[in-house]
Amino acid sequence: MNTEHKIAIVEDDPHQLSLLEETVREAGFTPLPYTGRQEALEGIQKARPSILVSDIILGDEMDGGFDLVRDLQQTGIVLPIIFLSERHDEFDIITGHTLGAVDYLPKPYNMKLLIAKIRNLLRLTQSSQPADSTLENLVVDPENLAVTWKGEPVYLTATEFEMLQQFAQAGARHLVTYEALQSATQGVVERNTINTHICRIRNAFRKVDPEFDMIQNEYGRGYSWRNKDEKRKH
């Protein structure tokens, strides 16, 4: 049993919520069921679950699931997310991934597939090794998806966190390829959007350090963690 892993479930349909709760419990996890955004926000802040599984439409809130994630990020809570929704259009799927979702399952979905994805997410999280000693002033905590720069917290989405870990694991001045960044996010990030995500990571660091300029573009190949005047290692 893996009851130490708490799975937050946000679903406004009581029947669906009951099925999800039962399925998660039978899989050996501890379900934390919520029917609304505010209830979930307060509960997640207290319980700190391992994963969030959320519908997008919550009652009268058409983007309730998206807004919940934004609310959590504003409080500094970043965790792996699986969105469930009847909305299958490309815009919603991209919005979900932009907010840091690791997966987006259209309704109706297969419960066994959902549990398999939860197990895989937990496995990936547990297998991540801290890389807080490879880059000066940077501390990366994979267990809590937390980042600090010069002692100050930096708030990233789960997708951005996985990308940042590639720099921490590679070390200073080493090339991190486009392929490595895509692989780290399980293909969630497309090649043509990598630069956008890197810009968001830079901006997150600049909120605590306006002079931050450590992620350099290695044109046509990827990026490296170094000052502009430092030579990259091959």
Q: How confident is the model at residue 126 (pLDDT cuts 50, 70, 90)?
A: low
Determine the Cα–Cα distance for residues 146 and 153; give it in Å rounded to an integer.
Answer: 8
Contact 12, 36 (CB under 8 A): yes
Bigger pLDDT: 111 vs 185: 111
Categorize the per-residue pLDDT at 129 as very low, low, confident or very high, splitting at 50, 70 and 90.
Answer: very low
Which of the two residues, 182 and 225, has the higher pLDDT score? 225
Backbone torsions φ then ψ of 232, nearest 5 degrees: -75, 145
3-state secondary structure of 215: strand
The residue written with tokens 């830079």 in the block is 202
User: Which helix (H) or strand (E) element contains residue 83?
Assistant: strand 81-85
Per-residue pLDDT of 9-48, as tens digits, reads: 999 999 999 999 999 999 999 999 999 999 999 999 999 8
Structure tokens at 12: 């406004």
R_g of the chain computed on alpha carbons: 18
Higher pLDDT, 90 or 115: 115
The whole-angstrom separation of Cα 164 and Cα 96 is 19
- Asked if 55 contacts 96 with a C-beta cutoff of 8 angstroms, the reply is no
Q: Would you state the pLDDT for residue 232?
A: 58
Mean pLDDT across 107-113: 90
Q: Is the peptide bond before 49 cis (omega within 30 degrees of 0)?
A: no
The DSSP result for 166-197, as a single string, is HHHHH-TTBEEEHHHHHHHTTT-S-GGGHHHH
Residue type (1 letter), 18 = S
Does the pTM surpass 0.85? The reply is no
pLDDT over 60 at 145, yes or no: yes
**C-alpha distances out from residue 48 to 15, 29, 69, 143, 179, Å:** 25, 14, 13, 12, 32
Q: Map out the domains of the chain with their CATH numbers.
A: 6-127 (3.40.50.2300), 138-225 (1.10.10.10)
The mean pLDDT of the chain is 86
pLDDT band at 193 (very low <50, low <70, confident <90, very high): confident
Helices (H) and strands (E) in the chain, counts: 8, 11
pLDDT of 3 above 70: no
Neighbours of 130 (CB within 10 A): 13
Say what percent of the chain tops pLDDT 90.
44
Q: What is the DSSP letter of 58?
A: B
The pLDDT of 158-171, averaged and rounded, is 86
Question: Model confidence at 131, in pLDDT bands (50, 70, 90)?
Answer: very low
